[in-house]
Amino acid sequence: PEAPASSRQATNIKRSRRTQAGKPQSAVMSLEAAIAAQTESKPADQVTELVLDTCKASRVSGLGRFSNLRKLTLNGCGLTTLEGFPALPELLQLELSDNNLSDGLEALQEAGLVQLRSLSLAGNKFTSIDQLEPLGSLPNLRDLDLFTCAVTELPDYRPKLFDILPVLKYLDGFDA
């Protein structure tokens, strides 16, 4: 079932604010160039947030040195894989909306994102619950957004996700 119009509006407002939070990125800027532009005067261990929305990249790279990163946004980058996702032990919020992801979420488990509390995968190509099962290994995940993913149209989508993620409090912007 489709979210109520007010929920869709709230999600769109949230996305609008999300892209305004950091410096606007050129649609053709590479991931590496955007990282350099945002971190030029800071030591890597002092960087706690990176907004890399709309950078062009098929995979995540160049982030492993940011060990204290707490928020990372890679919305609309064209990502097709999460393979090799870096270990970011302090990461609390990860936004991967509007990419071309359809599987490979085990890369987040392999990266040891045990602190991760909020994950946005809205606007990606997830079509089955099985593709989302690796998220069950994220022990602190409280907020998951899959808005506009085909998987949200499956029967019993919400109960199945809550079975996989028993600590989840919010799914697609709605309370458990």
Stated pTM of the model = 0.84
Whole-angstrom distance between the N-terminal and C-terminal Cα of the chain? 16
Amino acid symbol at 127? T
pLDDT by 10-residue block (mean), the chain, 176 residues: 46 44 57 93 95 95 96 97 96 98 96 97 98 97 98 96 96 90
**3-class secondary structure per residue, 140-176:** CCCEEECCCCHHHHCCCHHHHHHHHCCCCCEECCEEC
| pLDDT tens profile 43-78 | 999 999 999 999 999 999 999 999 999 999 999 999
- Cβ(156)–Cβ(128) below 8 Å: no
Number of domains making up the chain: 1
Indicate which CATH number applies to the domain containing 123. 3.80.10.10
